[in-house]
Amino acid sequence: MAAQQMNVEVISNNIANMNTVGFKKQRAEFQDLLYQNIERMGAQSSDSGTVVPTGIQVGSGVKTGSVYRIMTQGSASLTSNDYDLSIQGKGYFQILLPSGETAYTRAGNFSVDDQGRVVTTDGYLLQPNINIPQGTTDVSISKTGLVQVSTKGSGATAATTVGQIQLASFYNEAGLDAQGDNLFLESGASGAPNISTPGDVGYGTLLQGYTESSNVDAVSEITALIVAQRAYEMNSKVITTADQMLQTTSQLARG
């Protein structure tokens, strides 16, 4: 029952984040517990050398082995915001935290602060730092992360390159340490980040004016929730039945 409760909690978190930008769903993975050997397989069953072919093993339950993150691509959602970016393929944006640490995210819903710097919704700086000049009339971000702006001056419109967005990749993305706020930190399981330009081998490209939607599928999550609920109820029934059997045995002993 405890294992299925964990399963329900994981599924409910997925459903709660159906509309979270860049969210990656999780799945609980279970393992069976130790077995009690009542009659060991392969044991000799007679003086003539015959052996027990299968034996008798009774399991002692289940445990949660891990809760792993599924890193499949979410669909691109149109926002028409010049600073919003969706990664099409592998990679993470690099975010500078107030502590000085570098965090990583798939959520590309960016904006600019009062100094013209590209930041997250919490005001954390995108790395490498991109500064948008005052008086900018148009921002263009290429698939390879080149940021160009157009400003009006002297009656003509000039395009200027103001920065280059880079992406980080990890050998084990599922090993990243989730911090909330759509941010991850590297861990011993994820390995150190590898930094490169969008579009390089092994890295995705950028799509301006879009954000990556959550990869949670409502139908599959509701189905999984129903299965987990039924499993919880059946485990509860097993406990009730075992308790009734013990009560019957106890009554027989007293009689």
Question: Which structural domain range is residue 82 located in?
Answer: 76-212
Q: In the 8-state DSSP scheme, what is residue 183?
A: E
Query: Do 175 and 242 belong together in one domain?
Result: no
Res 27 pLDDT > 90: yes
- pLDDT for position 154: 45
Percent of the chain with pLDDT over 70: 97
Rounded to the nearest integer, the mean pLDDT of the chain is 90
- Per the structure block, which two tokens stand in for 97? 């935290």
Residue 187: pLDDT band (50, 70, 90) is very high
Query: Do 110 and 41 belong together in one domain?
Result: no
Query: Do 183 and 242 belong together in one domain?
Result: no
Which amino acid, 32?
Answer: D
Res 158 pLDDT > 80: no
- pLDDT for position 207: 96
Query: Do 16 and 104 belong together in one domain?
Result: no
Mean pLDDT of 148-156: 71
The answer to whether the predicted template modeling score (pTM) of the entire model surpasses 0.85 is: no
Query: Do 125 and 26 belong together in one domain?
Result: no
Distance of CA 21 to the CA centre of its chain: 12
Query: Do 107 and 196 belong together in one domain?
Result: yes
Query: Do 205 and 80 belong together in one domain?
Result: yes
Query: Do 203 and 225 belong together in one domain?
Result: no
- pLDDT for position 135: 84
234 within 8 A of 226, measured Cβ to Cβ: no
Residue of 226 and 58 predicted with greater confidence: 226
- Per the structure block, which two tokens stand in for 174? 């599922």
Strands (E), the chain: 26-32, 35-39, 56-59, 62-69, 76-78, 85-88, 93-96, 102-105, 111-112, 118-119, 125-127, 136-141, 146-153, 156-164, 167-169, 177-180, 183-185, 194-196, 205-208, 210-212
Res 6 pLDDT > 60: yes
Q: Domain count of the chain?
A: 2
Query: Do 188 and 81 belong together in one domain?
Result: yes
Query: Do 98 and 140 belong together in one domain?
Result: yes
